[in-house]
Amino acid sequence: MKATAKINRVCMAVLKLTDSEFNEMEKVAREQIAYTHPLKYATASMWNNIGRHNLHVLRDLRRLRNTIKRTINEKGRNHN
């Protein structure tokens, strides 16, 4: 598969993500960040790091989705 086709598939998948899906995953990430265990510091630290990473990924996916939507809308206006 060509690189452009792969990128197009990723962009289309991101475009289909809904706000409720983002909110659901944000809740999961925040739970990961809040995870604590008095006897398992290393495990808690790992989940905290994963949660922070997941929040960053979600933020970037939202930005990508919004950029794609904005670009589609701008192209639609320019072709009329």
* Tens of pLDDT, residues 13-27: 999 999 999 999 999
Nearest CA among 52, 18, 60, 22 for reference residue 34? 52
Global pTM reads 0.82
**H helix count then E strand count, the chain:** 3, 0
DSSP letters, 41-67, are: HHHHHHHHHHHHHHHHHHHHHHHHHHH
The domain total for the chain is 1
Q: Is the pLDDT of residue 46 over 70?
A: yes
Range of the structural domain that residue 32 is part of: 3-78
Nearest CA among 62, 51, 47, 49 for reference residue 15? 62
Mean pLDDT of 20-47: 96
What confidence tier does 33 reach under pLDDT thresholds 50, 70, 90? very high
